[in-house]
Structure 1
Amino acid sequence: MVGRTVTLEDARDALSAAMGLENPLTDLDSAVVQYLTSALADSAAAEDEVVDIVSIFLPQINPEIALSKSEEIARNIRRQLHGAPTEDTTREKLVRLSKATRLGASVGIDSGRRKSVGTRQHAGNANQTLDRSAEAERAKEAAAVRRARRVGAQVKTYQSEATVSSVKAKYTPGSSDIHIEGLDLAFGGMSLLEGAELHIPYGRRVGVVGRNGCGKTTLMRAIARRELPIPEDMDSVYVEQEIAGSEKTPLEVVLESDVERQELLTEEEELNEKMEEAEAAGKEPEPAVTARLAEVYERLGQMDADKAKARAASILDGLGFSDHAMTNQTVNEFSGGWRMRISLASALFLEPRLLLLDEPSNHLDAMTVIWLGDYLSRWPHTIACVSHDRAFLNEICTDVIHVKDHKLHPYSGNYDDFEKARRERMKELERVAESQEMKRAHIQKFVDKFRYNAKRASMAQSRLKMLQRMDEDRVVLPSEEEEFSFTFPDPGALTGSHASVQICEVAFGYQGQDLLFQNLDFSINMDSRTVLLGPNGAGKSTLLKLLLGENIPIEGEVKKSPKLRIGYFSQHHMDTLVLWRTPLEHMKVIFPDAIMPELRSHLAKLGVRNDQALRPINTLSGGQKSRVALAVITFQKPHILILDEPTNHLDIETLDSLIMALNSFNGGLLVVTHDARLVQSVCDTIYVCEDGRVTEFKGEYQEYRKQMVDRLRARSKLFTMRA
């Protein structure tokens, strides 16, 4: 059995059979089930590691299993699937669980419309999943402790959930402003906020900015879970992850996200049936039925239920679901990026009074980002948005909250206004601090001179008290943020055909589908500085996989020298990280022959320094995880970098550093991105992937963007006419 391919279904069946129950996994959260089956199915992972992961869950699946027996059962399941480990497989040559699901942040659409004042209606896929995910994280930490005890080692565990304390808030009935004082927030054993104050007046659109790891996403999740006090009757929606797969169309999913509307429509149908039954029997309808039907009609009228379908279709059209064939596809047929759009469409359709967005422009193409910015700029309620996209923040924001030094610093205006105000504030603080220091130095000089002079001792004592008062009122300058810069290693020189990858007259399509490309010619080399643009679903990722050799052409060929090293950064790079390992452990697993100082030095060059390199990856921010992934792909000194949405999860300062590093990189570059600043700063050649073709755009990025805006406006007019 050793060496055979084990599917997730095989692992699930083996786990179910070992539990001795008919459907033991039914009540277990889907993320946890996928996590367990992925671990069991991975033939490359070490047996002891998998046993530690799986055994902690078995008593929870079947309470009749004793904890002392769970390891033995988990080991039997593992060996049933893969056989007993050989000497080679027991070596310390561990490989990541390639399909492990992230379990630390499964938060999606949190709630729908209010059924009535004071009542929130949940859409159903947030809090339960989050609770299970947190349970999984705790289980992994417990497994690490047990493993350490067996070998007599010390283990340092990190808290994997956010903790909130010292919060004060008092809301009057009907209040829609958010005002929280004394906010302390911690995650992974790190203090993020201390005595902070959060104030968001109703109807403001707030951009939340700050360095990676400062606590932006943790703050958003705490608000979404209502761990922070917000007005009780204020409905909220948090958009962070793609929507779950189903056999429903995007339009059906969006319409059904409004639970209150669906329930009212169902009740209307039932009441009408009762009315018809009474009429058929020659009786008068019951007064209670008639009265309730009138109430249902009134509420449906208040929420414009008759216009809901057109409104949902309009939102989906703006997010790129304009093709008739796409609107009839099921959610299961869409990629992660498109599912993310469906999740976003559901949130916009619900129109909550508090909309929480975490990097909403990730996985969107340039045209859709333009539409979303315009849509949100006219949003009538409150928005809190974490984003790294300056242009997007400039368009939607009325205010900015800067997370720095464990505090929340509010600014009025958009991102450009914030930067200007912050610079002016720093100048003023520096001026006041300098004045205070000059005065302090003058007084200190007097004290030093006359402290032991009997005639002037009283005056010296008076000056000492003055110094103490000055220390209490001393202006404290914001901490200096460390100047961070990426450093990509020099790949060395290649010449001629060794320095390029060429796609020659290639035809390609996925099984059972029409050809995506025909007669495709495309190439990149060590001198390339190319951006690949185009709508989601046009084939950009497919083209990248052709270059990487992951997709095999039906016709034509892909020419690549064996001497050429390519580094590939996927937009789904987080799926490649084993979250309970530290960055240093992760690097050692992938590069077992490298020495620790070398790995640690390379991580530091990519911004993963000191304690960060020794913390479990699940305690790092999204941007810090991106740096770990960048460290992996650059360690082998690639000649060409292929970057698929590298700006996702990076803060604005880190993005600036990435731009500088790419401009200094001595190899070739192909990047897929929607970030205008990255394109304009790094790329000198634009290719557009659309309608089965890849063509060079003869012009600047601003010209391309203008064409996209004109197309978007034309499409909107067309849609209005159709509606």
Structure 2
Amino acid sequence: MLLQSQLQEYLPKADNVVLRYLAQVFEEPSFEITEVVDSLVPIFTEFGADSNSAKERIVELYTKLHPELLEQDAEEEEPLARLSRPVRLVDKFGGDQDSKKLESLVGMGQKNSSTGGNANETLDRSKEAAMARYMAQERRAKRSGKPYQSVFAESATVSLSSSTKPTQEGIRDIKIDGLDLSFGGLELLSNVSLTLAYGHRYGIVGRNGVGKSTLMKAIAHRDLPIPPDMSVLYVEQEVVGDDRTPLQLVLESDEERRKLTEKINNYQNSSVETADSEDISEVYERMSLLQMDKAEARASAILAGLGFNNEMQQQPSKRYSGGWRMRIAIAQALFCEPELLLLDEPSNHLDLHTVLWLANYLRQWPHTLCVVSHDRDFLNSICTDIIHLNNKSLYYYSGNYDDFERVRKERLKDLERQAANQEMRMKHMQQFVDRFRYNAKRASLAQSRLKAIEKIQQNRVYLPEEEEQHAFFFPDPGPLVGSHATLQLSNVSFGYESSSPMNASSKDSRGRFILDQIDFCVATDSRYAIVGPNGAGKTTFLKLLTGEHVPHLGEVRKSPKMRLGYFSQHHVEHLVLARTPLEHLIYCFPDADHAVLRGHLSNIGIKGEMALRPIFTLSGGQKSRVALAVITFKKPHILALDEPTNHLDIETIDSLVEALNSFQGGIVLVSHDARLISQVCDDIFVCENGKLTHFDGTFEQYRERVLKKLPPAQYIGKSLKV
């Protein structure tokens, strides 16, 4: 009761049900501190607490109740041994009782609870807490060496054929046979061969959830036999912001440069007697070979190409948003120049200007490159080869993405012809066998036909399994007439630094506005694309349209009858990953019928058992579908979409194009995807220098204009002059 009263003081808006649940979580000793923070921060913030202070408060309370956990968290976890074969859920849970146990733990079973308020929210959070507690027990068991049984795989499981040999040093081509890859109990690749020739630039493509990112991570973590002396770098996450500048972060990312610099510093600080002058001369020779005196200029040039001007390069990195920190991570990779560079959706956090510069830069990349991307133009610009993941196999194609599509269609037609020819021959021979099977004179001929049929069946051509097309469907929002059908911005100005409308009205502060004196009107039949460089205010404009931001000056006029849907490029942050998609929709719409919600998920492409799997097991594109399901269930009259193609595969983008063209409402789209804009939008507006102006031309013409303004993206290698 004392703990519950303390929580009541900190969360006065929370009712007794929530407080009792929080007290039970704090009193449970089997959690780890990070898991408690991750589980409870959303609840604390929901009831009015600041996210930063909530973290501090949660850590303080939990460690005070369980001080022994501080020592346990300081222990090092034992490294995991590589398994000889994939471990699947069916191997660990054989019977019905075990399956029910699994479903109850990870939330895969469909619940038949009635909708309600805080009680249902507490039930959902209890399930998430149970999942976190069980995974914490697993980790403690691993540290102590005690036996344990895994509920769900936290990382990929890799197995190789026994004939696979370790790769020797000095070899830069990668050739791996008999590769199996699984994740979360799902088999992604089965007995495939992975081949990466040095100096080639590979585009890895396939539908969402087939294992593209999982394969990249397995390579990056060296779960596969990669040459031990081969440098590998995987760009997936943004850098952690601190007081160091982007330029410092990029320079410090080169491990060899850092070590050589440390040796020089140690030599300068030591006496002549103790210093090894011969070793230092080799260090200077190596530094001269790599032209490390040009390192700062090289790092600065790469950052400039990724959008950092001289002033931005000198600002503390903690001031930058996640998208800009992702650019720093890409700059670090280009600066380090690894022999195998792995990029996972690099264009997601970039504007059109930067995507074009990066494509031009990577086209000159001299080492091996693997890229997962949904951007056709980007893949066409840089790729020399395409690896297609389909049906648990890898298929290799020479050329860029357009070449891959053309050759794949030709191969499919050729296979269809071969399969049809085989079917016709077998049918003809089977008719002969059926007719003369019991004819003594022709029995030998019938027997030879049977052998021929058997031989054809042994060498039979099978068509590849068709990939299931998950089409989008956006419900009809219904008609609006007159002034109800338009949304207007009149002389709107907005800036994050202005503290109040009164201060914002001064002439001096107006220069700090991100958007200044914007007049804009969108109707239920509008198809508008908003383009422009990052930081120009495109996302801010969408938030003004949807009411998330209130303008400092001007007015936004919207009818109360008009419903708006806003898809944020950071939509995953709003998903509770331990829930299933169906549970997430039930939480968002507690009064809706569960069967209706299930049908809506199916319309958006989350079908069958996928709707009952935890969201953290879904791919990025599948998570995007869940977020779109929440938005479109309200039947919005106008959709405001901020980079909706992020994490979607190319086939899914085609489905999204068809759905948007069939949508009966208005669309305001922020994107750099040429195919999406060209096929969906009728008008293009350029957001730049605080203004929103209409572009009189097509997206291709706008792209050509951007290309002319770009500085040349000359490749800057370690041993090349700047």
TM-score by length of 2: 0.80
Match of 1:502 in 2: 488
Out of 161, 168, 183, the position equivalent to 2:155 is 161
Superposition deviation, residue 462 in structure 1: 3.7
Q: Is the contact between residue 501 and residue 558 of structure 1 (CA under 8 Å) also seen in structure 2?
A: yes
CA distance in 1, matches of 2:368, 2:241: 29
Q: Could you list the structure 1 runs, at least 4 aligned residues long, displaced by more than 6 angstroms after superposition.
A: 18-21, 54-60, 94-97, 135-138, 140-143, 714-717
User: Aligned pair in 2 of structure 1 residues 44, 330: CA closer, same or farther (>3 Å)?
Assistant: same
Match of 1:70 in 2: none
Out of 280, 285, 294, the position equivalent to 2:281 is 294
Superposition deviation, residue 42 in structure 1: 4.0
Q: Is the contact between residue 167 and residue 227 of structure 2 (CA under 8 Å) also seen in structure 1?
A: yes
CA distance in 1, matches of 2:695, 2:432: 72
Q: Aligned pair 1:362/2:370, yes or no? A: no
Which secondary structure state, in structure 1, belongs to the residue aligned with residue 348 of structure 2? coil
CA deviation map 1:446-503 (0-9, x unaligned): 2222333444444434433332222121111111223332111000011222222222
Out of 191, 214, 221, the position equivalent to 1:218 is 214
Match of 2:41 in 1: 38
Out of 220, 240, 247, the position equivalent to 1:244 is 240
CA distance in 1, matches of 2:708, 2:517: 30
Match of 1:61 in 2: 69
Q: Is the contact between residue 13 and residue 47 of structure 2 (CA under 8 Å) also seen in structure 1?
A: no
Superposition deviation, residue 523 in structure 1: 2.6
Superposition deviation, residue 342 in structure 1: 0.6
Match of 1:191 in 2: 187
Which secondary structure state, in structure 1, belongs to the residue aligned with residue 120 of structure 2? coil
CA distance in 2, matches of 1:574, 1:478: 33
CA distance in 1, matches of 2:28, 2:479: 60
Write the letter of the residue equivalent to 1:649: H
CA deviation map 1:183-216 (0-9, x unaligned): 1111122111111111111000000011111111
Unaligned ranges ≥5, structure 1: 46-50, 66-86, 104-134, 144-155, 279-284
Superposition deviation, residue 688 in structure 1: 1.2
CA distance in 2, matches of 1:455, 1:138: 74
Match of 1:647 in 2: 645
CA distance in 1, matches of 2:417, 2:172: 39
CA deviation map 1:528-583 (0-9, x unaligned): 11111111111111111111222122222222221111111110111111111111
User: Aligned pair in 2 of structure 1 residues 438, 612: CA closer, same or farther (>3 Å)?
Assistant: same
User: Aligned pair in 2 of structure 1 residues 698, 632: CA closer, same or farther (>3 Å)?
Assistant: same
Q: Is the contact between residue 116 and residue 590 of structure 2 (CA under 8 Å) also seen in structure 1?
A: no
Question: How many residue pairs get matched?
Answer: 622
Q: Is the contact between residue 639 and residue 668 of structure 1 (CA under 8 Å) also seen in structure 2?
A: yes
Which secondary structure state, in structure 2, belongs to the residue aligned with residue 611 of structure 1? helix
Q: Aligned pair 1:656/2:654, yes or no? A: yes
Alignment of 1:55-454 (within 5 A): 61-62=69-70, 90-93=118-121, 139=135, 158-167=152-161, 168-274=164-270, 278=271, 285-286=272-273, 288-322=275-309, 324-454=310-440
Match of 1:571 in 2: 569
Write the letter of the residue equivalent to 2:570: H
User: Aligned pair in 2 of structure 1 residues 231, 694: CA closer, same or farther (>3 Å)?
Assistant: same
Q: Is the contact between residue 501 and residue 523 of structure 1 (CA under 8 Å) also seen in structure 2?
A: yes
CA deviation map 1:399-442 (0-9, x unaligned): 00011111100000111111111111111111111111111112
Superposition deviation, residue 715 in structure 1: 9.7
Which secondary structure state, in structure 2, belongs to the residue aligned with residue 558 of structure 1? strand
Write the letter of the residue equivalent to 1:340: M
CA distance in 2, matches of 1:19, 1:444: 74
Give the aligned CA root-mean-square deviation in angstroms.
Answer: 3.5
Which secondary structure state, in structure 2, belongs to the residue aligned with residue 348 of structure 1? helix
Q: Is the contact between residue 543 and residue 549 of structure 2 (CA under 8 Å) also seen in structure 1?
A: yes
User: Aligned pair in 2 of structure 1 residues 567, 316: CA closer, same or farther (>3 Å)?
Assistant: same
Write the letter of the residue equivalent to 2:325: R
Which secondary structure state, in structure 1, belongs to the residue aligned with residue 711 of structure 2? helix
Out of 669, 672, 675, the position equivalent to 2:673 is 675
Which secondary structure state, in structure 2, belongs to the residue aligned with residue 182 of structure 1? strand
CA deviation map 1:242-294 (0-9, x unaligned): 111111111111111112212221221221122xxx4xxxxxx2274322321
CA distance in 2, matches of 1:688, 1:226: 44
Superposition deviation, residue 170 in structure 1: 4.5
Q: Is the contact between residue 138 and residue 160 of structure 1 (CA under 8 Å) also seen in structure 2?
A: no
CA distance in 2, matches of 1:95, 1:497: 44
Which secondary structure state, in structure 2, belongs to the residue aligned with residue 92 of structure 1? helix
Write the letter of the residue equivalent to 1:165: S
Write the letter of the residue equivalent to 1:38: V
CA distance in 1, matches of 2:459, 2:68: 56
The range that moved more, 373-382 or 492-501, is 492-501
CA deviation map 1:609-638 (0-9, x unaligned): 111111111111111111111111000100
Which secondary structure state, in structure 1, belongs to the residue aligned with residue 294 of structure 2? helix
Superposition deviation, residue 716 in structure 1: 8.3
User: Aligned pair in 2 of structure 1 residues 515, 165: CA closer, same or farther (>3 Å)?
Assistant: same
Q: Is the contact between residue 169 and residue 179 of structure 1 (CA under 8 Å) also seen in structure 2?
A: no
Q: Aligned pair 1:487/2:473, yes or no? A: yes
Write the letter of the residue equivalent to 2:371: C
Superposition deviation, residue 93 in structure 1: 4.4
Out of 551, 554, 564, the position equivalent to 1:553 is 551
CA distance in 1, matches of 2:47, 2:587: 11
CA distance in 1, matches of 2:47, 2:151: 25
User: Aligned pair in 2 of structure 1 residues 625, 32: CA closer, same or farther (>3 Å)?
Assistant: same
Write the letter of the residue equivalent to 2:41: S
TM-score by length of 1: 0.80
User: Aligned pair in 2 of structure 1 residues 60, 385: CA closer, same or farther (>3 Å)?
Assistant: farther
CA deviation map 1:483-528 (0-9, x unaligned): 3321110000112222222222222221468332332222322121
CA distance in 1, matches of 2:62, 2:577: 18
Which secondary structure state, in structure 2, belongs to the residue aligned with residue 710 of structure 1? helix
Q: Is the contact between residue 659 and residue 678 of structure 1 (CA under 8 Å) also seen in structure 2?
A: yes
Match of 1:124 in 2: none
Superposition deviation, residue 600 in structure 1: 1.2
User: Aligned pair in 2 of structure 1 residues 487, 587: CA closer, same or farther (>3 Å)?
Assistant: same
CA distance in 1, matches of 2:588, 2:531: 32
Which secondary structure state, in structure 1, belongs to the residue aligned with residue 379 of structure 2? helix
User: Aligned pair in 2 of structure 1 residues 613, 304: CA closer, same or farther (>3 Å)?
Assistant: same
Write the letter of the residue equivalent to 2:69: I
Q: Is the contact between residue 363 and residue 645 of structure 1 (CA under 8 Å) also seen in structure 2?
A: no
Match of 1:582 in 2: 580
Fraction of identical pairs, as percent: 51
Superposition deviation, residue 313 in structure 1: 0.6
Match of 1:73 in 2: none
Which secondary structure state, in structure 2, belongs to the residue aligned with residue 531 of structure 1? strand
Which secondary structure state, in structure 1, belongs to the residue aligned with residue 710 of structure 2? helix
CA distance in 2, matches of 1:506, 1:398: 47
CA distance in 2, matches of 1:209, 1:612: 21
Superposition deviation, residue 302 in structure 1: 2.5
Q: Aligned pair 1:541/2:569, yes or no? A: no
Write the letter of the residue equivalent to 2:159: S
Write the letter of the residue equivalent to 1:41: F
Write the letter of the residue equivalent to 1:475: V
CA deviation map 1:46-69 (0-9, x unaligned): xxxxx9xx999979834689xxxx
